[in-house]
Homo-oligomer: A and B are copies of this chain.
Amino acid sequence: MASVITFGEIMLRLSPPSNLRFVQTDSFDARFGGGEANVSFALSNFGVDTSFVTKLPKNDIGQACINELRRYGVDVSNIVLGGDRIGIYFLEKGASQRGSKVIYDRANSSISQCSKEDFDWDKIFDGAKWFHLTGITPALGKNVAEVCIEACKKAKEKNLTISFDLNFRKKLWTSKEANETMSKLMPYVDICVANEEDAEKVFGIKAKDTNIIEGKLSHEGYKDVAKEIVDRFKVKKVGITLRGSISASENLWSCMLYNGSEYYFSKEYLIKIVDRVGGGDSFAAGLIYSFLNGKDDREALEFATASSCLKHSIEGDFNVVTVDEVMTVYNGDASGRIQR
């Protein structure tokens, strides 16, 4: 019986090795990843029982994906087999002034073809405490959005805490469509997570004095953003990741949390990037872990920030770090010294 349930798409991720560009490579590193799966994955590493709910094709690639989740301890018993294919995303890693590049090939994935009949939420949520999903899932199609709403309803009935990461994807829908669908989901949400761009893209809530392209983010501006989300949607807490993009190789990383009364800003880390995908998911997982374990808001924010900072040093979407490793950074040792 899992404590935390996540629901969404997991994709096959294909990336050229080292620094090669798409047109240079003759092989791809093959991994799996997706917003909600990444959260389950990180939580499992933290020792939390977690189940990832999705639909995957009944073939060896689907099986390889299930195996990968299982390998890291994520419960896969709620995964439905069927549909045509696993979604794919191609990732080219950037370097210096050249940004990373993603090509999505996710249309007609099994999960995008799912229907209400595929999932028995009553059973899935049995004994669970938390439900997490992201703005990617309802964007996969009207059918999937409906499944999301149904799941949220059921989760609320069963008193689960619901966290939601806005995660806007412009290739999947327009801001208008996102706003429309998300507005139906937000009433169920307890904790809203976003990055430095999402709130504007989804709800038109823009941070003042901020220029994302130049990597300059204003604390004051994000206070307003957080406040407006709380005011508009009555969520309990808003967590926002603040990425200062210096280059594809170096980022500044800090996060904020607003609980309706206090604004907390975390320590800021200067990160040498190994793999930046899944940073936001690690932050969400850090918050969920913290709140499930009774940490207060400041502690939760710092834990989640340290955790997501570490994600950037790890290959793949998945945040392969333990609680102990996060705590080392949380406790102030971010010097990367060797541990013999």
Interface residues of A (CB under 8 A from B): 14, 17-31, 59-61, 63-64, 67-68, 70-73, 84-85, 88, 90, 92, 94-105, 107-108, 169-171, 212-215, 245-250, 269-277, 306, 309-310, 312-316, 320-321, 325, 328-329, 332-340
Contact = CB atoms under 8 A, between A and B. Distances in A.
B23 A340 contact: no
Contact of A107 (B108, B212, B320): B108
A99 B316 contact: no
Contact of A336 (B28, B100, B277): B100
Contact of A97 (B20, B72, B334): B334
Given A90-B61, A309-B97, A245 B103 contact: no
B250 A320 contact: no
A339 B100 contact: yes
B320 A21 contact: yes
B105 A313 contact: no
B103 A61 contact: yes
Given A60-B22, A315-B18, A272 B338 contact: no
A24 to B, nearest CB: 6
Given A28-B27, A28-B30, A95-B272, A340 B70 contact: no
Contact of A213 (B17, B24, B72, B333): B333
Contacts of A276: 338
> Which are the 9 A-B pairs with shortest beta-carbon distances?
A248-B336, A71-B71, A245-B335, A22-B60, A95-B313, A98-B313, A249-B272, A96-B313, A100-B338
30 contacts: A17-B27, A21-B315, A22-B63, A22-B64, A23-B64, A23-B67, A26-B29, A26-B30, A28-B28, A59-B103, A60-B92, A94-B313, A94-B336, A94-B338, A95-B274, A96-B272, A96-B336, A98-B313, A98-B321, A98-B325, A100-B339, A101-B339, A102-B339, A169-B340, A213-B333, A245-B336, A248-B313, A248-B337, A249-B272, A276-B338
Nearest to A328: B99
Contacts of A71: 67-68, 70-71
A230 B219 CA distance: 51
A105 B99 CA distance: 29
A320 B103 contact: no
User: Which has the most chain B C-beta neighbours within 10 Å: A20, A246, A313, A316?
Assistant: A313
A246 B289 CA distance: 28
Given A102-B340, A247-B334, A320-B23, A96 B31 contact: no
A90 B86 CA distance: 12
Nearest to A64: B23
Nearest to A98: B313
A71 B88 CA distance: 21
B19 A274 contact: yes
